[in-house]
């Protein structure tokens, strides 16, 4: 409340903020706020001792990095990707003043949804049972659940590749895609939303092909790669512009060498083979992989080479980003100098 006799202003209501912090989970938010209701403090009344009332206490809700804040209509209104980043979710109302007849105004009230998207350097992309979880356990210290059936991974698993020079690269094992994932079939959007935040993609493909069940069509390794590309493209076109590597798994199996030779021929000139396939599985643009590495998560063959390729690809991308930043800064300096010369 304001203080009419002396024209005092009441304190403004506190604000509700979302603040990104490391080692925070959505589960911890739920435990702290079981009602899922975040309320900031009330502003202090104006008084003879303090004509300007004190502002109400802000409510700071700590959230994990990678959070998108959506409004009630599902529209994204903010995102927090780095520790310390803040988003104003609801502003406190102004205190009572002459303009409001010394009566306080209500603060903002809104319903929001918090959507977590995993942040990782590399995202493993593949159909169920391609060996993504086995690969993650081989290249990092992660211990994902592994079994010989589809959909062992039903939530993202994060691991870190450790290098001799202490460099660390985070790798996310994401739930397996199926045909129609872009339309939210299977794990659909639960999988694809995490791919958005990874710097690079690592396709993991079974050299012997893939069949989800007896009711679904068998796909060769080449068809699998095209289908995975198509699903990413249909969900969000920018996903297929990310740098990508290809790990061809299970090369320890019988007939793997013949299948590998055939696949490498198809990948060298994919356009020569597209006319043999159904139109609906062909993506608008075929991916060009930075590296293609045959591996076996069972015998360990190719794993060391794959780790080296991942490191090289991530380092090259970082250098490219730095170079673009340097060029941008140089251009700004040149533009600034030209403007100063024109003024003088």
- Using the CB atoms, write b or e for 183-215: b if 16+ within 10 Å: eeebbbeebbbbbbbbbbbbbbbbbbbbebeee
**What is the value of pTM for the model shown?**
0.69
DSSP 91: P
> pLDDT per position in the chain (344 positions), as tens?
999 999 999 999 999 999 999 888 888 888 999 999 999 999 999 999 999 999 999 999 999 888 889 998 888 899 998 899 999 999 999 999 999 999 999 999 999 999 887 778 999 988 877 888 889 989 987 665 443 433 334 466 788 999 999 899 999 887 656 545 444 444 445 567 777 878 999 999 999 998 877 777 888 999 999 988 988 888 888 888 999 999 999 999 998 999 999 999 999 998 888 888 888 888 888 888 999 999 999 999 999 999 999 999 999 998 998 898 888 888 888 888 888 887 76
CA dist 112 → 74, 88, 189, 207 (Å): 9, 12, 19, 44
Residue 254, CA distances (Å) to 171, 207, 208, 301 in order: 29, 10, 9, 15
CB distance 247 to 202 below 8 Å: yes
The helix/strand/coil state of 5 is helix
């Amino acid at each position: 409340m304001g203080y009419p006799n002396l024209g005092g202003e009441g304190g403004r209501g506190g604000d509700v903020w979302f603040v990104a912090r490391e080692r925070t989970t959505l589960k911890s938010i739920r435990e702290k706020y079981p009602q899922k209701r975040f309320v900031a403090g009330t502003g202090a009344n104006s008084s003879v001792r303090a004509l300007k009332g004190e502002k109400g206490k802000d409510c700071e809700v700590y959230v994990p990095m990678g959070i998108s804040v959506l409004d009630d209509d599902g529209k994204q209104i903010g995102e927090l990707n780095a520790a310390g980043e803040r988003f104003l979710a609801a502003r406190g109302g102004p205190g009572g003043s002459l303009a409001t007849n010394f009566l306080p105004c209500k603060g903002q009230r809104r319903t929001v949804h918090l959507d977590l998207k995993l942040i990782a350097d590399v995202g493993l992309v593949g159909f169920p049972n391609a060996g993504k979880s086995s690969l993650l356990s081989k290249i990092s210290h992660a211990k994902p659940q592994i079994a010989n059936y589809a959909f062992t991974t039903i939530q993202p698993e994060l691991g870190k590749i450790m290098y001799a020079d202490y460099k660390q690269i985070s790798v996310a094992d994401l739930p397996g895609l199926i045909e129609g994932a872009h339309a939210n079939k299977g794990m659909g959007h639960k999988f694809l939303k995490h791919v958005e935040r990874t710097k690079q993609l690592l396709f993991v493909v079974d050299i012997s092909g893939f069949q989800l069940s007896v009711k679904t069509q068998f796909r060769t390794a080449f068809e699998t790669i095209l289908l995975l590309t198509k699903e990413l493209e249909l969900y969000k076109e920018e996903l297929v512009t990310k740098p990508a590597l290809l790990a061809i798994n299970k090369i320890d199996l019988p007939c793997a060498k013949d299948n590998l030779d055939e696949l490498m021929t198809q990948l060298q000139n994919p356009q020569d083979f597209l006319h043999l396939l159904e139109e609906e599985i062909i993506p608008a643009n075929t991916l060009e992989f930075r590296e293609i590495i045959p591996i076996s998560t069972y015998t360990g063959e190719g794993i060391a080479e794959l780790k080296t390729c991942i490191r090289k690809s991530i380092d090259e991308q970082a250098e490219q980003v730095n170079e673009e930043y340097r060029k941008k800064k140089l251009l700004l300096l040149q533009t600034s100098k030209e403007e100063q010369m024109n003024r003088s």
